[in-house]
Every structure is written in structure tokens, then in C-alpha cells.
């Protein structure tokens, strides 16, 4: 039997929301493999927060910027929220977002920046603030035939969630499309979809979810002849959780995001989106 460390039990509990003893049992059953233990908990119906899988405890801040046909979101990580909400740190992440919007995200650390490079400037910031500071995730969109928008959720005096969204099949500059794009960006920040549509869910991810739900349903004692039907229904729930177009709009839950987009015309669509939350993979 694997030697289960207390820190691994605590990490699994934080990632899944399951009870301490259940986490320990899952690790024992999985020979200490945390990822396998997460799946074991889900199969047993013990995972209280599947969406939290993979989250890290990093602190930091995000910033978004939209300039004409370009939009960018940048995450900068540090050790404490005290530093993350400080003026120097927030100024730095805002400057980096502008840098990415203007100069792109290719070889970002090596780009010329404030008399040195982006990488050197981040190292110097860490030295000045006395913490380990690292560039986090970055996304940049360009669009000449659609509408771009961004949203930043502010909490504890810093940006904690940054979203970019691009609508296609609409006229650039159309005010209604811009308003819908902004509403969708706000929705994405709250609802945390992973994919635009059902078609974007990778086949292996869907198959894994089907296997997990099948095992969960069987462990609930459901008859074999109804398991497939129940799993299909639960997969619809999976789509509503993770596919943007299937979700109910946060401001009007009875209206799906798909219907919201359809209101812009038959050719309108969500081309892509990016969502970055500090401390979450």
C-alpha cells in the first residue's frame, strides 16, 4: 500500500471538495496517484466540486485591454495578494497587457520593454517587491471582420478574472453586437465555460466523462437497462456546465447564450473566447 502523505490528502481535498477521510481512501485505492484519486472520487459521487480540479494556489492579478482590432489579457503571478493589489504590481500588469496588445505575445519575455526586456523587467519587479514574480497566462486576439470585447472582474482591489471574446458574422463597430459581446464576456467570467460548443469538446474528454458518469450511475444501483439513458441526460448537464452556447445567460437564465447570439442575425457566432482566473489552471 502506498504511503499517503497528509499534504497529498489536503491537496486532494482542496481540488475536489471531498471529505478528508474520503480523500485519504481515494489515494489509498489509487496508490497515491492524485489524478487517479480525483477520478475515483467522481465515480463514487464524492467529489463536491469537479470544476476545481487542477487549481493552483498562486496569487497575482490580470489585466485586459481592447485597442481597435486587437484585444489582450495578461496574468502576472506573485506570492501574496498583498503584493498583487499594490500599485506597482497593478501598474506592471496593465503595462504588460498594453505591450501584448501592441507587440504580440510571441517571445514575450524577450521583447524590448522599458529599456530592457519583458523578462528582465519582471525579474527586477520581483527584486523590488521582495517576492517571486512570474508571467502567467497570456491571450491575444486580432479581428478585422468581427467584434472583440473584454471584461475584467475586480476583487480585493485587483483584477482576478480576465475574459476576451470574439463574435463573427457581425459588422465591426455595430453597437448591438458590441453590447452582446460585452454581456457574453461578463457571462464567461461568471459561468466559466471550457468550450464554445458541443462540437469543441475533445473526443477523449467526452469519452472520459461518459465513462465516469457510467460508473457513477452504476454505483448508484441503477438497472443496467436504463444506465445509458441516464448517462445521456447527465451528459446534457455536462454540456450546460462547460459549453458556452448551451449555458443559460447569467442575466436571463431562461435565455441560452446561443439564442442571445442568434438575436444578432443568422450568421452571427462566437468565434472564440479566453478566460483567465488568477490561481486557476
User: What pLDDT band is residue 47 in, cutting at 50, 70 and 90?
Assistant: low
CA-based end-to-end distance of the chain:
31
Q: Give me the domains of the chain, ranges plus CATH numbers.
A: 1-55 (1.10.8.10), 59-196+248-277 (3.30.479.20)
**pLDDT band for position 57 (50/70/90)?**
very low
The reported pLDDT for the residue numbered 39 is 86
40: pLDDT strictly greater than 50: yes
For the chain, give me the number of helices (H) and strands (E)?
Answer: 10, 10
Split at pLDDT 50, 70, 90, the class of 42 is confident
For residues 13 and 19, is the Cβ–Cβ distance under 8 A?
yes
Contact 101, 71 (CB under 8 A): yes
| pLDDT at residue 276, rounded to an integer | 97
pTM surpassing 0.85?
no
Rounded to an integer, what distance in angstroms lies between the CA atom of residue 18 and that of residue 154? 29
pLDDT at 51 over 50: no
CA distance 70 to 272: 14
Computed over every residue of the chain, the mean pLDDT equals 89
pLDDT surpasses 50 at 55: no
**69-101 pLDDT per residue, tens:** 999 999 999 888 999 999 999 999 999 999 999
Instruction: Please give the torsion angle defined by the CA atoms of residues 11, 16, 21 and 24, in that order, rounded to the nearest 10 degrees.
Output: -50
In our burial notation (b when 16+ CB lie closer than 10 A, e otherwise), range 131-149 reads bebebbbbbbbebeebbbb
Amino acid at each position: 500500500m502506498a504511503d499517503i502523505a497528509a499534504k497529498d490528502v489536503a491537496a486532494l481535498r482542496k481540488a475536489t471538495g471531498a471529505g478528508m477521510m474520503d480523500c485519504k481512501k481515494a489515494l489509498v485505492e489509487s496508490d497515491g496517484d492524485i489524478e487517479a484519486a480525483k477520478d475515483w472520487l467522481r465515480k463514487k459521487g464524492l467529489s463536491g466540486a469537479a470544476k476545481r480540479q487542477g487549481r493552483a494556489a498562486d496569487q497575482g492579478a490580470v489585466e485586459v485591454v481592447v485597442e481597435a482590432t486587437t484585444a489582450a489579457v495578461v496574468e502576472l503571478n506573485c506570492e501574496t495578494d498583498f503584493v498583487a493589489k499594490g500599485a506597482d504590481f497593478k501598474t506592471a500588469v496593465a503595462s504588460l497587457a498594453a505591450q501584448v496588445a501592441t507587440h504580440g505575445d510571441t517571445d514575450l519575455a524577450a521583447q524590448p520593454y522599458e529599456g530592457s526586456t519583458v523578462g528582465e523587467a519582471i525579474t527586477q519587479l520581483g527584486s523590488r517587491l521582495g517576492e517571486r514574480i512570474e508571467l502567467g497566462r497570456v491571450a491575444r486576439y486580432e479581428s478585422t471582420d468581427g467584434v472583440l470585447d473584454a471584461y475584467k472582474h475586480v476583487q480585493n482591489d485587483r483584477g482576478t478574472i480576465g475574459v476576451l471574446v470574439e463574435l463573427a458574422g457581425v459588422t465591426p463597430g455595430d453597437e448591438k453586437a458590441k453590447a452582446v459581446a460585452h454581456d457574453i464576456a461578463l457571462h464567461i467570467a461568471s459561468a466559466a465555460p471550457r468550450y464554445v460548443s458541443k462540437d469543441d469538446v475533445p473526443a477523449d474528454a467526452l469519452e472520459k466523462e461518459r465513462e465516469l458518469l457510467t460508473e457513477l450511475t452504476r454505483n448508484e444501483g441503477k438497472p443496467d437497462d436504463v444506465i445509458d439513458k441516464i448517462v445521456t441526460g447527465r451528459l446534457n448537464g455536462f454540456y450546460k456546465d462547460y459549453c458556452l452556447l448551451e449555458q443559460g445567460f447569467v442575466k436571463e437564465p431562461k435565455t441560452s447564450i446561443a439564442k442571445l447570439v442568434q438575436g444578432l442575425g443568422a450568421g452571427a457566432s462566437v468565434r472564440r473566447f479566453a478566460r483567465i482566473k488568477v490561481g486557476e489552471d
